[in-house]
Amino acid sequence: MNKKLAKREFKKYIKEKNLKFTQQRETILDEILNTKGHFQVEDIVHNIKNKNINVSRATVYRTLNILKDMGLVTEVIKFDNKTIYEISLKEHHDHLICTTCGKIIEFHEEEIEKLQDKICKNYQFTPSFHRLEIFGLCKECSKNSNL
Amino acid sequence: MNKKLAKREFKKYIKEKNLKFTQQRETILDEILNTKGHFQVEDIVHNIKNKNINVSRATVYRTLNILKDMGLVTEVIKFDNKTIYEISLKEHHDHLICTTCGKIIEFHEEEIEKLQDKICKNYQFTPSFHRLEIFGLCKECSKNSNL
DNA sequence: ATGGTTGCAAAATGTTTGCAATGGC
DNA sequence: GCCATTGCAAACATTTTGCAACCAT
């Protein structure tokens, strides 16, 4: 999925739910689409500060809830009492998180996905989304901790 | 690992780190050991209310941090802005979480664990712990949502 | 006796909400 | 014009922290 399509999907969803396509919502979505990779609420709030339109933190949260509901944004990491989001433009993947430097490495392992499906079937569980976080030390921090 | 051993390990860790084995810490550990399955901070605080010893919420948090550091307690689920903990008495496992009724189903899939190790090796990443959460609808809630 | 620990209240975070004013459609 | 949306501040929830009194060793 690309940015244009994402925006179209958003407008479609907005219309379906009888919501409104406001300047604030557009600004927030644009900002998220321009953010490469992972982001936090503060990033969005901060980056919009320089724009000619004002968007409050509350509106960012409210818009994120819409984006989560429609599945365009996912809470991919919960770490350090923070939520890290990601826009679903790429194929699904999971994360390695370095607890020392905070680096995030993405990986995709089809075999793990398949096994998860198998497990859900076993339990007659209907999955909507999942999150696999592996915490530890990245290559560099691993080296440094051995010194 | 059983309860007795867990307690012994805790005392050992406490001694190693030059900390103190206080009544509060013992009470909290006992409470956690008696809690079957998952628990939240409020559960512990609430359950200790009836005891003859008083333990403040702050002390529960501080003790949980020690238990997390030594690996005896893990933050297994982050959902709904809440943290759900678990004591590591059983073998490692992951969770299916029903977003409607809150039911938690545990599962263990050795194959997934192996694949994770493989991935970490690939990235020269040193894992310390991981968390795999699959959110969705349990069997019962799945049925009800089809009505 | 010493130095870690506790409880308390306050503070720090992160997130949600009530309400009056505003603005899409 | 209707009704959703916004900004603001307040509320809320969770977790951390400063400090004086306390207690395990």
**What residue ranges define each of the domains in chain B, with the CATH number in brackets?**
3-87 (1.10.10.10), 94-145 (3.30.1490.190)
Report residue A73: phi and psi, to 5°.
-130, 140
The DSSP line for B80-115 is TTEEEEEETTS---EEEEETTT--EEEE--HHHHHH
pLDDT, residue A105, reads 97
Q: In whole angstroms, give the CA distance from residue A82 to residue A92.
A: 21
Q: In whole angstroms, give the CA distance from residue A35 to residue B107.
A: 36
Burial (CB count within 10 angstroms: exposed 0-12, middle 13-18, buried 19+), residue B47: middle
Tell me, yes or no, if B92 comes closer than 8 A to chain A by beta carbon.
no
Q: In whole angstroms, give the CA distance from residue A78 to residue A128.
A: 18
What single-letter DSSP state applies at residue B124? T
For residue range B136-145, list pLDDT tens digits in order.
999 999 998 8
Question: Which residues in chain B land under pLDDT 70?
Answer: 147
Q: In whole angstroms, give the CA distance from residue A106 to residue B129.
A: 16
- Neighbour count for residue B54 (Cβ, 10 Å): 11
Predicted confidence band of residue A1 (pLDDT cuts 50, 70, 90) = confident
User: Among B15, B24, B129, which residue's Cα sits nearest to residue B72?
Assistant: B129
Task: Evaluate the CA torsion angle A75, A45, A37, A2 in order and state its sign.
Answer: positive
User: Among B132, B102, B137, which residue's Cα sits nearest to residue A120?
Assistant: B137
pLDDT, residue A36, reads 85
The DSSP line for A76-145 is EEEETTEEEEEETTS---EEEEETTT--EEEE--HHHHHHHHHHHHHTT-EEEEEEEEEEEE-HHHHHHH
Contact B125, A138 (CB under 8 A): yes
pLDDT, residue B1, reads 77
pLDDT, residue A71, reads 95
pLDDT, residue B59, reads 98
Q: Which of A125, A131, A142 sits opposite B96 (nearest CB)?
A: A125
Q: Beta carbon of B52 within 7 Å of strand C?
A: no
Q: Beta carbon of A77 within 7 Å of strand D?
A: no
For residue range A69-118, list pLDDT tens digits in order.
999 999 999 999 999 999 999 899 999 999 999 999 999 999 999 999 99
Closest nucleotide to A28 by C1' from CA: D6
pLDDT, residue A39, reads 98
Q: What residue in B sits closest to A113 (Cα-Cα)?
A: B112
Amino acid at B2: N
- B79 CA to D24 C1' in angstroms comes to 38
B134–A135: do the CB atoms touch at under 8 Å?
A: no
- Neighbour count for residue B145 (Cβ, 10 Å): 10
B126–A111: do the CB atoms touch at under 8 Å?
A: no
Tell me, yes or no, if A62 comes closer than 8 A to chain B by beta carbon.
no
Residues forming a β-bridge with A94: A107
pLDDT, residue B144, reads 87
Could you give the C-alpha distances from A23 to A70, A82, B25, in angstroms and in order?
19, 27, 53
